[in-house]
Each structure stands twice: as C-alpha cells, then as structure tokens.
Amino acid sequence: MKRLVLLGIGLLLTACAARTPLPLGPPILATPLPATLQIQREQAGEQQFWWLVVQAEGPALRWSLIDPLGVPLARQRFQDGAWRADGLLPPNGEALELFAALLFALTPTEALASSFAPASWQALADGQRRLTPDWLISYRSPLDFTLNHAHDLSYRVHVLSDQEIP
C-alpha cells in the first residue's frame, strides 16, 4: 500500500512539473481582443481543424475552443494566473496545455522577459522560441505560427481577419 501511495505522489509531482508555464502577471498579447484563431491540429498524419475565440472579460481572458460544427471542446477563463472552468464542459488537459502555449506564443517579444520566468523560455537566433518543457514555436509572422510539441503533435495557428470568420 505504501508503495502505491509513493508511486501516486511521484506521478502527481511529475505531471505538475511537466505543465506548460503560465505568465507571471496579467498576459500581454500581440493581438487585439476579441481574437478568433484558426487552429490546425496534426498528430500521426491525422488533421483536425478548430476555432478558438479569446475574449477579455474584465481582468480575465475567456478561451472558447470549438470544432467546425460549432460544438464546444473546451471553455476556460484565465484569471489571477490560473485556469478556471467556464461552463459545464469536462476538463480538457490538451486544451489547457495548448492555451498556455498560446499565451506564450502570442506574447510580443519585448514583453517575454517581464511575462515569463527566465528559465522557462528561450528566443532562438532564427526567430523561433522554445518554451519548457516541450514546445517549439516557429513564426511565419507574429500572428501566424506553428506550435510543435515534443510528442509528434503540432498546431498551425493564425488569427482570422473579420473577412475570414465563418
């Protein structure tokens, strides 16, 4: 029994340690809000398309991830440095990690040092960024980029203009 408890605690600590870092203070984003992002998820040759709407609501940011049919996949509020469920959807760990990586990817370069712990990220010489533990961000422009996760998972992200929003 003691062994199981220690194993459980070890797994819990490992899971907590592997989480994508969050901003140290209120997020500074490179895009005006509300923003609608198109996300193309690819893993093992399979693709999915999603839309993400990010809205400011007072001191909080509301993140709503939906599929092309309008079905909500995840809804979260980011406030006071933490995620909070928004609505009755079940927890979606992948979406929370994606949202955290997007907070980093959408932060302007000049705000990175004041927004994220120094040991949690790197700006690479080729314009890419690395976010611990598992993210590499490659930019085509500040609002058009790919998030590559260490586990053969990538998200192509770009902000939709008013003319592109379905």
Q: For residue range 125-166, list pLDDT tens digits in order.
A: 899 999 999 999 999 999 999 999 988 999 999 999 766 666
Report the distance separating Cα 107 and Cα 124, nearest Å: 15
Domain ranges of the chain: 2-159
Q: Is 80 left (phi over 0), alpha (psi -120 to 50) or beta?
A: left
Q: Which of 71, 137, 63, 66 is nearest to 104 (CA)?
A: 137
Structure pTM? Answer: 0.87
- For 56-92, what is each residue's pLDDT tens digit? 999 999 999 999 999 999 999 999 999 999 989 999 9
CA distances from 109 to 8, 10, 57 (A): 39, 35, 24
User: Would you give the DSSP letter of residue 114?
Assistant: H
Enumerate residues 6+ apart whose C-beta is below 8 A from 32: none
Question: Could you tell me if 129 and 104 are in contact, meaning their C-beta atoms sit under 8 angstroms apart?
Answer: yes
Residue 151 confidence (pLDDT): 84
- The model's confidence at residue 32, banded by pLDDT at 50, 70 and 90, is very high
Q: Within 10 Å of residue 88's Cβ, how many Cβ atoms?
A: 7
